[in-house]
Amino acid sequence: MSADNKDKNEWSIEDALKKMLEDNAIKNKYIEYKIISIWEEIVGAFIKKHTTKILLKEKKLYVHINSPIIKNELLMQRSQLLSKLQEKIESNHIEELIIK
């Protein structure tokens, strides 16, 4: 195989992953996984303990909380939470944060 053919047929792992993530469904799941993995860092262990579900759908992040008091607190901090999440995942793939 010549050097030219080798360059055209071989991808770095990073390029292959980026190509794979272009599929929106896979990208959503990847971003959702990243959010779940950093959720405690963003909100703390106590709030994470009361988080029952995190779901990303159509650029909306749904966070289910099992405590009305914590839910109310998060609702008041929604815009700050959204900004922190966007900064941490380095993406504007989340346009809205919905606390349930």
For 56-90, what is each residue's pLDDT tens digit?
Answer: 998 899 999 999 999 999 999 999 999 999 999 87
- Higher per-residue confidence, 89 vs 24: 89
User: Looking at this protein, which amino acid is placed at residue 39?
Assistant: W
Contact 56, 31 (CB under 8 A): yes
Mean pLDDT of the chain: 86
Distance CA 74, CA 70 (A): 6
Q: Is the pLDDT of residue 13 over 60?
A: yes
Distance CA 62, CA 87 (A): 18
pTM of the model: 0.75
Per-domain boundaries in the chain: 11-99
CA–CA distance from 10 to each of 18, 22, 23, 26 (Å)?
14, 18, 20, 22
Structure tokens at 64: 């289910």
